[in-house]
Chain A
């Protein structure tokens, strides 16, 4: 299989089917979250929409997520007087049903029941307030960084990525990020890939990826990203911190070396099989284990 065909097969294996269990679970959680927010903020009539990789067309099986944006009208104060109040009130509402992890502008929801404690539902709830009655731009609260307020626009973000002409490269770079445990956010990685490939939209996927990695390896300190919804107003420098830059550069270097030494399969692995027969294959794998081990659980280390 040639390299281009291989990468297309990787992308195919990373595509979630519309009637698959992952998307069905996402839809169910989305409905539950929307009902919860509408009940809790019935006076405020928030606008609730999809964002994240599902809306951008950059979803991958290994790291799919869904942003549920919950924007309140500009003249509403029932959901909170300040942006921070809105963020905290949405967090409180979600905490009734979920374990909530605070992110700089979003709230990640996870399971809090006995059966699914800590399970990541791949859903970020993003609270915000429209800047005016046109319901276009929004202000988001930001819990970290110098500025506590971001001005942004969901549609500008979605269009910037959907119409970038490089969504396949973005999906593969997201897979690379996940496979290597990198801490750069999906948003920052998407912006970086789009910027680097601005003049290389017609290049092959192998050329696009190698170019991005070479830039990361050789030129990481000179790379920057801007928020397309507010290029001069939102400082995204903390999304590309010194630690993130050095890690990206290092892993990009090992990736290029891996391609040179062993080819593309060294980077994304063999194309993974679909779910059919996976249980049977896992059982075969278990039966061939030479030294079986049994797990235990130490109550003294955090489980009571």
Chain B
């Protein structure tokens, strides 16, 4: 059986502690039930001044760094509601899993995680709490957010074409002589081949597979989500 990440690579844990200790001295690492947990107060800073603080807990699952750490607000300050992008367990939904490679690709540091998606999320919460809009916008909830992402990505609202593109992301391999999923009649090599090869590197296959399943279920009406709009 494979060891958990911090036993297999203890140097990574040491490195993570070291890299955040100056900027986030109030965040502490603990081992709890076989996972690493970081707890403490997270400051929203600008110009080296703290504008706000949140009590947070970050859990690194056994398959870290493959998995995205789970971020929770534990102070009970943020409502566990759709509009605040918190599930009922108090877990924050920082970004769409599809965007991981743009926001915090595998191999990025924990400090970068704190300074980018975590910082942006709680900065947004502070503004929303004061009646302002989310500063960088939001993805719609559930399958609608997934649909919007792929519609933007592929530049079409035609869900049949979106789904064809996604099948090409998931496929074990794609060949240049295949017809392009965009539907213009060209071969892949003369059309969206480079674009798809790049996406296959960016979006993990399991993430695309899961999203495709949601979109297909929503399209066929099998998915009983209240926001099933497709």
Chain A residues with CB under 8 Å of chain B are: 62, 110-111, 114-120, 122, 178-181, 247, 250-251, 254, 258, 262, 266-267, 269-270, 272-273, 278-279, 281-289, 291-299, 301-304
With known contacts A115-B81, A297-B142, A285–B46 Cβ distance under 8 A: yes
**B16 nearest CB across to chain A (Å):** 15
B residues in contact with A270, CB < 8 Å: 48-50
**Does A278 lie within 8 Å of B51, measured CB to CB?**
yes
Q: Could you say which residues of chain B place their CB within 8 Å of the CB of A180?
A: 26, 28, 39-41
Contact B81 A296 (CB under 8 A): no
Chain-A contact segment, one of B1-9, B118-126, B189-197: B118-126
The 6 A-B pairs of least Cβ separation, nearest first, read: A120-B76, A181-B39, A285-B46, A292-B136, A286-B135, A118-B80
Contact B44 A179 (CB under 8 A): no
- Chain B residues contacting A120 (CB-CB under 8 Å) are 75-77
Contacts of A279 in B (CB 8 A): 127, 130, 132
**Distance between Cα atoms of A25 and B89 in the complex (Å):** 24
Q: How far is the CB of B77 from chain A (nearest CB, A)?
A: 7
Within 8 A of A (CB), among B70-92: 74-82, 85-92
A99 to chain B, nearest CB (A): 9
- Tally B residues with Cβ within 8 Å of A: 70
> Is the CB–CB distance between A179 and B95 below 8 Å?
no
Asked if A297 contacts B135 (CB within 8 A), the reply is no
Contact partners of B94 in chain A: CB under 8 A: 293, 295
Contacts of A254 in B (CB 8 A): 25, 28
CB contacts (< 8 Å) of B22 on chain A: these are: 262
Are B50 and A293 touching (Cβ within 8 A)? no
Known A273-B49, A297-B93; contact A181-B74, beta-carbon cutoff 8 A: yes
List CB contacts (< 8 Å) of B94-145 with chain A: 94-96, 99, 103, 116-117, 119-121, 123-124, 126-127, 130, 132, 134-143, 145
Given contacts A179-B26, A179-B40, A278-B51, contact A293 B103 (CB under 8 A): yes
Residue B186 at the A interface, CB < 8 A?
Answer: no
- Closest-by-CB residue of A relative to B82 is A297
Which chain B residues lie closer than 8 Å to A299 at the CB level? 141-143, 225, 227
B30 touches A293 (CB 8 A): no
B74: A residues at CB distance < 8 A: 181
Judged by a CB distance under 8 angstroms, whether B55 is at the interface is yes
Asked if B65 CB lies within 8 Å of chain A CBs, one says no
**In whole Å, how far is A204's beta carbon from the nearest beta carbon of chain B?**
23
B123 near A272: Cβ-Cβ < 8 Å: no
Q: How many angstroms from the CA of A130 to the CA of B23 in the assembled complex?
A: 50
The answer to whether B77 and A297 have CB atoms under 8 Å apart is: no
- Smallest Cβ-Cβ distance to A119: which chain B residue: B79
Question: Given that A118-B79, A250-B28, A297-B141 are known contacts, is A289 also in contact with B87, CB under 8 Å in the complex?
Answer: no
Q: Which B residues are CB-close (under 8 A) to A304?
A: 226
* Structural contact, A282 and B85, CB atoms closer than 8 A: no
Beyond A117-B79, A117-B80, A296-B138, 4 extra complex contacts between A and B, CB < 8 Å = A180-B39, A258-B25, A292-B135, A295-B139
A-B contact pairs, 7 of them (CB 8 A): A181-B28, A278-B130, A292-B135, A293-B136, A295-B138, A301-B89, A302-B89
0/1 string, B21-54, CB within 8 A of A gives 1:
0100111101000000001110111101111110
Nearest CB of chain A from residue B227's CB, rounded to whole Å: 8
CA distance A200 to B153 in the complex (A): 65
Contact A302 B88 (CB under 8 A): yes
Specify which of A118, A284, A297 is in contact with B46 (CB 8 Å cutoff): A284
Q: Say whether B57 faces chain A, with CB atoms less than 8 Å apart.
A: yes
Please determine whether A295 and B124 come into contact, CB atoms closer than 8 angstroms. Answer: yes
CB contact under 8 A between A294 and B136, given known A111-B79, A279-B127, A299-B142: yes
Is B87's CB under 8 angstroms from A298's CB? yes
Complex alpha-carbon distance, A124 and B21, angstroms:
34
Q: Name the distance in Å between B20's Cβ and chain A's nearest Cβ.
A: 12
8 Å CB contact of B81 from A110, A114, A247: A114
Complex: A31 Cα to B4 Cα, angstroms: 50
A291 and B130 form a contact (CB under 8 A): no
A118 to chain B, nearest CB (A): 4
Query: Quick one: given A298-B93, A298-B142, are A292 and B78 in contact (CB under 8 Å)?
Result: no
When C-beta atoms are compared, the residue in chain B nearest to A298 turns out to be B93
Chain B's closest residue to A268 (CB) is B26
How close is A81's CB to chain B, nearest CB, in angstroms? 33
> Which of B25, B45, B96 is A267 in contact with, Cβ under 8 Å?
B25
- CB neighbours (8 Å) of A288 from chain B are 46
Check A119–B78 contact: CB distance below 8 A. Answer: yes
Q: Give min CB distance, A195 to chain B, whole Å.
A: 25
Q: What CA separation (Å) do A114 and B126 show in the bound complex?
A: 19
Rounded to whole Å, the gap between the CB of A228 and the closest CB of chain B is 29
A250 to B31, CA, bound (A): 13
With A and B bound together, what is the CA distance between A181 and B59 in angstroms?
Answer: 14
Q: Which residue of B lies closest to A275 (CB)?
A: B130
CA distance A84 to B128 in the complex (A): 41
